[in-house]
Amino acid sequence: MELLVASAVGILTAAGIYLILRKRTFPVILGLSLVSYAVNVFLFATGRLMVNAPPILNKYEEVAYTDPLPQALVLTAIVISFGMTAVVVMIALGAFLSSRDDRIDMTSDTQSGEDA
């Protein structure tokens, strides 16, 4: 189970970083979403991966339990990443409507050596 979750976190992170390095705005937004999903899965896995274990600690029984704090952190992170994605989509949409292109231009006149 741990190998599967670790592989999922690695694949999501690698795909997200690959998409963030693209030169269009939509893949960058998808890459940011994938990286935030990878962080959410990682946070969720820190609360112990157990099947049918209660998220509470019972002082009268010695049973394994899952930690509820990472679950609460993941719920908060999901809401924050959804809001962040909505804001970034609106900024990208505004940039696309103003320039009719979603390409990210990283060139400037100072980098090419031309003096104005």
Give the model confidence (pLDDT) of 1-16 as tens digits: 788 989 999 999 999 9
Evaluate if residue 112 carries a pLDDT over 70.
Answer: no
Verdict on whether the full-model pTM lies above 0.75: no
- Lowest-confidence pick of 48-62, 73-87, 90-104: 48-62
3-state secondary structure of 103: strand
Q: At residue 54, what are phi and psi to the nearest 5 degrees? A: -75, 150
**Dihedral angle over CA of 26, 28, 31, 32, nearest 10:** -110
* Residue range 59-78: mean pLDDT, rounded: 79
> For the chain, what is the mean pLDDT?
81
pLDDT at 111 > cutoff 70: no
Strand partners, 103: 24
Alpha carbon dihedral 27, 32, 34, 37, in 10-degree steps, equals -160
Tell me the C-alpha distance between 114 and 112, whole Å: 6
Asked if residue 116 has pLDDT above 50, the reply is no
